[in-house]
Structure 1
Amino acid sequence: MKYPEKEITLVVPLASGGSTDVNARATAKLMSKYLNQPVVVENKDDAGGITAMTDLVRQKPDGYNLQFAGDGLFSIQPILQKNLGYKQDNFDFLVGTTSPDQPGQYFSAACYPLIASMYIGNIMLLVLNLPLVGLFINILRTPKNLLMPIILVLCIVGAYAVNNSVTDLWIMMIAGVVGYFLEKLGFSTAPLILAVVIGPMLEDALQQSLLLSHGSLTIFINQPIACSLLVLTSIVTMYPLLSKLIRMFFRKRVQSNNAAER
């Protein structure tokens, strides 16, 4: 039997307009071109995408209802919610699908335009930043009563545009309030900036690890390299507190010895 013989539905368990939805629509366009059949993108963002995943599991697998989802619904979500209507083993992951007219041509080739756009973007940033760095510095001379409202509006629009989620706006506002009090209390901003930069990388690595282990956290203990890095990270994290406790212990011991000699 020739496949496909009818329209294919690509289900996106997120709201339209986000990065996942944009990538899904680009993939659907390529699939329609190579398979010579229409590929329709359908957004189902109820319950954070859990409803769409559950509905797909209940359907008979026929190759005409496909899911376009991120790692979180397969790795993080099953850990946070134990009574989900699906699990990772219910799905077959399509790494690459060959083209009927060009064997060996994979849909993963859609990544090349994305990579090329990143190179072009970096070049444009270099071209713009070098001659305009003086102008960008002058922006800091704008009065705060004008600059702060503009920054606030841009933050609100940017936070909402990523996932079209009001929850992201609340997270942004709470983070802003917490950051304000941290600055007032004298906390260093360098660790926070480092966390913002490295945090998404750690989340991606965590999701990939949980996908490989089918949701089991033991992968971080069973693997020697991962276990060694975990122990080393724990020691580095706890070192300031431990060193302070050790100094306090020896200081009290010295004081008690001096008091006993007197």
Structure 2
Amino acid sequence: SEPRPEYGEGAMPLDVESIRNQFPILQRTLPNGKKLVYFDNAATSQKPLAVIDAMSDFYKNYHANAHRANHTLADESTAALEGARDRISKFFGTSEGQMIYTGSATEAMNLVAYGWARYNLNEGDVVVTTEMEHHANIVPWQELSKERGIELRYVPVDTEKFTLDYDAMEVAIEGASLVCVGHVSNVLGVRNDIERVIKMAHSHGARVAIDSAQGAPHEKIFFDDLGADFLSVAAHKMAGPTGIGCLLVSDAALSEMGPFLTGGSIVK
């Protein structure tokens, strides 16, 4: 196969005005008379016209219940849903069978907790996370710890470097079943060495869950090459719609998962 280009290779100079023009909300004038400048993208990103138009086109022209009816609109909705799954999977360097739609990155991490850990971990099993995590990668494990009696270990942050203490992580991972780490901190902006964490965890026989809500918008990810077992993503932080995310799952981890939400869609 052809070698993959380096991230950013061949990139054109940044045309700020052209980019601003793609976002209708940035044409707003604020009450103080100044043009809107928006820097809160770590919380949520604004939506370009291409996204707004695509969503409007769907609701105007072929909205229906995907996978649940046998008429033209349903067929078109299903094709749109699965076409998006195929494109998203390819974008993240994996196959469509490895991608699960979720409502957010938070739901994706809860899917790891309640769709994998609940089926595989028992009292005394160990989950490792860090002091740097978003609550979406802490609270599910705290709740599961109370519910199932699992042991929860926290890797500290090096207060001089504002990075994870990888020596402490090596100790914490000993005997662990799952390691959960953020790709990029939503508070510090630190990019964790997830490649190192994945190798470290797998050398101890642990599965690895990466919260990439803040990493995926800034770094090209090839999930299959990365080697993580789980990776969560939120569309609204990548100029996509609010209320959708995905969980990427390795073949091995997927085979160990059970239902997280139940209802009509799982009835055969």
Bin for the TM-score computed over the shorter chain: under 0.3
Structure (1/2) with the larger strand percentage: 2
Structure (1/2) with the larger helix percentage: 1
TM, length-normalised to structure 1? 0.26
TM, length-normalised to structure 2? 0.26
Q: Quick check: which has more Rg, 1 or 2?
A: 1
